[in-house]
Amino acid sequence: MNLANTLKNIAILAVLAGNLLLVQPAGAVSRIKDIADFEGVRDNQLIGYGLIVGLNGTGDNIKSVDFAKESLISMLDMIGINARDGQIKAKNVAAVMVTANLPAFARQGSRIDVTVSALGDAKNLLGGTLIATPLKGADGEVYALAQGTVATGAVSAGSQAAGSTSVLKGVPTSGRIASGAIVEREIPFELESLSNINIALRNPDFTTSRRIADAINAMLGTPNAKAIDPGTVTLNVPVKYSKNIVDLMTKVEQLQIQPDAQAKVVIDEASGIVVIGKDVKINRLAIAQGNLTIRISDVPLVAQPEPFTLGETIIVNTQLVEVDEKREAQMKVLDGGINLQELVDGLNALGVTPRDLISILQAIKASGALQAEIEVI
């Protein structure tokens, strides 16, 4: 009897476990590291102003770009050359803005990529060399020094002859220097001294933040994590991880959860792109799609004079008006609570174009039948 009862209990538990699996929300799961950031672990933007030299006659016009001329004179003064009394006609120099991102925990002596962008009327930065340029942070301190050969990845070719053609591919006035800056100053951040860690969601959502907190607490076995708002989960560092924060953060960022999101329809009216979220629902409604197209065109008619007269042949433009009512358009009934696939199939059955789809979705939303937010970008 004991054995029979045991087998019966095991069977019941197996059925319950199967039911639990069936009621789990369907959808793709993501790691916490892919949907959230740890507060304090972030990049910092750097900016600087510099000169690029060695261009093949495609630099700034020194006569019209005063700041490029003054920068060139100042640079020559630094190396002991006095150029203030003479005329400078260089065409191989360009003034540029230099930008870079300083990664979190970047150490002194490590290298980062930089981007250069022309400020004046330079035509092409290909092949130029950026002279040593200090890169500053928001606090005005210098954190890196950039220098190196610029690669634009663009093609610009043409001729000055009359009737000639030119070819332009990419943006030749903006380029990149791989590993072009050396970090000179570190940003202090004592990771091991943290007593709590804030996790910031990239797409704030109440349900997602709660799921993150639940997943962390399940992993730790203690209620150390708490969702304090839709975009933040705070984690009190357990005692056993107080001297090993990296280990804790590694385990947390690898946890997998299913992110939740608000039902939304995103419309780009400029390009006609429509993106419909998977949770978009509509109530039962009828849709009729049909366009009244009026086309007006000019039709030239030739008027000939009567035979044996002194009249002239003239051309008269008349207007032709065509009206297309698309009488084959039909009204369709869409049942309530349909999902994304059924909505798309129903609208495709009407033969709608992306432009028509935008108007239809906005009309459905205005009627109150669309259970989603419409965002126009």
Question: Angle at CA 141, nearest 5°, toward 60 and 147?
Answer: 40
Judge if 51 and 172 occupy the same domain.
yes
Last residue of a domain, one of 257, 288, 304: 257
Judge if 223 and 270 occupy the same domain.
no
Q: Are 199 and 36 in contact (CB under 8 A)?
A: yes
Query: What's the pTM?
Result: 0.66
Residue 88 is predicted with a pLDDT of: 73
Domain-embedded: residue 8: no
Domain-embedded: residue 242: yes
Judge if 273 and 320 occupy the same domain.
yes
Last residue of a domain, one of 233, 257, 281: 257
Domain-embedded: residue 162: no
Judge if 245 and 136 occupy the same domain.
no
Domain-embedded: residue 96: yes
pLDDT in tens, 305-334: 666 666 676 766 554 545 455 555 555 555
Judge if 213 and 276 occupy the same domain.
no
Please give the residue that has the higher pLDDT: either 202 or 156: 202
Indicate the number of domains in the chain: 3
Residue 86 is predicted with a pLDDT of: 64
Q: Are 142 and 135 in contact (CB under 8 A)?
A: yes
Domain-embedded: residue 37: no
Domain-embedded: residue 35: no
Judge if 272 and 371 occupy the same domain.
yes
Judge if 232 and 290 occupy the same domain.
no
Last residue of a domain, one of 257, 288, 308: 257
Judge if 335 and 231 occupy the same domain.
no
Stretch 186-192: mean pLDDT, rounded? 85
Question: What mean pLDDT, rounded, does the chain reach?
Answer: 79
Please give the residue that has the higher pLDDT: either 300 or 32: 32
Boundaries of domain holding 55: 44-154+168-183
Judge if 178 and 198 occupy the same domain.
no
Judge if 352 and 252 occupy the same domain.
no
Residue 269 — pLDDT band, cuts 50, 70, 90? Answer: confident
Judge if 276 and 300 occupy the same domain.
yes
Bridge partners (DSSP) of residue 235 are: 197, 225
pLDDT in tens, 227-264: 999 999 999 999 999 888 999 999 999 999 999 888 88
pLDDT in tens, 87-139: 677 788 999 999 999 998 999 999 999 999 999 889 899 889 999 999 999 99
pLDDT in tens, 43-73: 999 999 999 999 988 888 887 788 888 888 8
Of 100, 126, 97, residue with least CA distance to 113: 100
pLDDT in tens, 18-40: 443 333 444 578 999 999 999 88
Domain-embedded: residue 39: no
Domain-embedded: residue 33: no
Judge if 252 and 178 occupy the same domain.
no
